[in-house]
Structure 1
Amino acid sequence: MIEIQPTELAAIDGAIILDVREDHEFAEVRAATAVSIPMSQFVDRFDEVPVDETLYVICAAGGRSAQVAQYLEQRGYEAVNVAGGTGAWVAAGLPTLSGAPA
């Protein structure tokens, strides 16, 4: 499985970041451009996953996102795990949002 560092990901214009943490985690803090599809809802919401795009999957620390990235790869998607997850994103001082999404 391919992994990317948060700083490398932040440099990619238009990257699709799928945040697979639960809603309360997503509301607390998230990468500014992340889209929420919690791991617990992922199979039910699979039709929301963009097709023919590289997907950068993020969670809190990298474990759940690695599982989802593997799931996506098995279905023919190009998926990249974000090493260190949102914790590493925040620690790197990259743009974040908090609160419930609009």
Structure 2
Amino acid sequence: MKEIKPEEVKELVDQDADVTVIDVREADEVAEGHIPGAKNIPLGLLEFRENELDKNEDYIMVCRSGGRSGKATQYLEERGYKVKNMTGGMLAWDGSTQ
């Protein structure tokens, strides 16, 4: 599984890089604060909403601490998506939130 550090994600977000952050936490968790521009697809709905993703795009998976996003990363990798797991999750994120 490919991983990316929160500092690297912050750089990409700050630079408006061509990457999409997917937050796999539940809606109530995301409402408390999320990475600007992140798309919310709760882990339990990922298999049903996978069709919203494009295998030609790059994705960064995020959750609270890195566990759920790790599962999401493995799931999507097995299906041919270009995806990385942000280590440490939102607990390690020190960038701005929305």
Query: TM-score, structure 2 length as denominator?
Result: 0.90
Distance 2:75 2:33 in 1: 25
Q: Does the residue aligned with 1:95 lie in a helix, a strand or coil?
A: coil
Distance 1:42 1:66 in 2: 13
Higher strand share: 1
Aligned residues: 94
Structure 1: tracts of 5 or more residues without a match: 98-102
**What does residue range 80-95 of structure 1 map to in structure 2 within 5 Å?**
80-89=84-93, 92=94, 94-95=95-96
Sequence identity percentage: 38
> 1:50 Cα deviation (Å)?
2.8
Where in structure 1 do 4 or more consecutive aligned residues deviate above 6 Å?
none
Query: TM-score, structure 1 length as denominator?
Result: 0.87
Q: Does the residue aligned with 1:44 lie in a helix, a strand or coil?
A: helix
> 1:59 Cα deviation (Å)?
0.4
Q: Does the residue aligned with 2:48 lie in a helix, a strand or coil?
A: coil
Partner of 1:78: 82
Contact 1:62–1:83, Cα closer than 8 Å, also in 2? yes
Partner of 1:8: 8
